[in-house]
Amino acid sequence: MAKALKIDPRDNVAVVLSDVGPGEEIVVKTDGKVIRLEARQAIAFGHKIALADLCTDEPIIKYGEEIGRAQREIVAGDWIHLHNLVCRRGHDQSALPG
C-alpha cells in the first residue's frame, strides 16, 4: 500500500510518495479522513494522482492553486501529467510588453 500527500485542503490531486504500479492501493490522509484510491496507471514518485473525477477543462488544484486544466475527462486514481493537463499561463504572447 502506497501513500500520497494532499498538500492543501482545496487540492483535487495528491503527490505519491513512492513509485506506484497500476492497481496498487494508495492511501491519502486528508481533512481528518482517509481516502483510498486504486492507481489506474503506473505513477512515478513525486507525480500527481487525481483524488476525484474531473471533467474536461475543469481546474486541477495543487497547493490550493490552479496549476492547469484537464485536457480530457480524468477519473479518480488517474496519473495527472502533461498527457491530460494543460497550463495556459505564460502562453498569452499579447500580454507581453514590447
Domain boundaries, the chain: 2-91
CA atoms within 13 A on the CB side of 30: 20
Determine the pLDDT at residue 87.
Answer: 87
Cα dihedral sign, 7-12-28-25: negative
pTM assigned to the model: 0.87
Determine the pLDDT at residue 13.
Answer: 97
**Using an 8 Å Cβ cutoff, are 31 and 54 in contact?**
no
List the CATH code of the domain at 2-91: 2.30.130.110
The answer to whether residue 91 scores a pLDDT higher than 80 is no
List the grid coordinates of 32. Answer: 481528518
Determine the pLDDT at residue 92.
Answer: 61
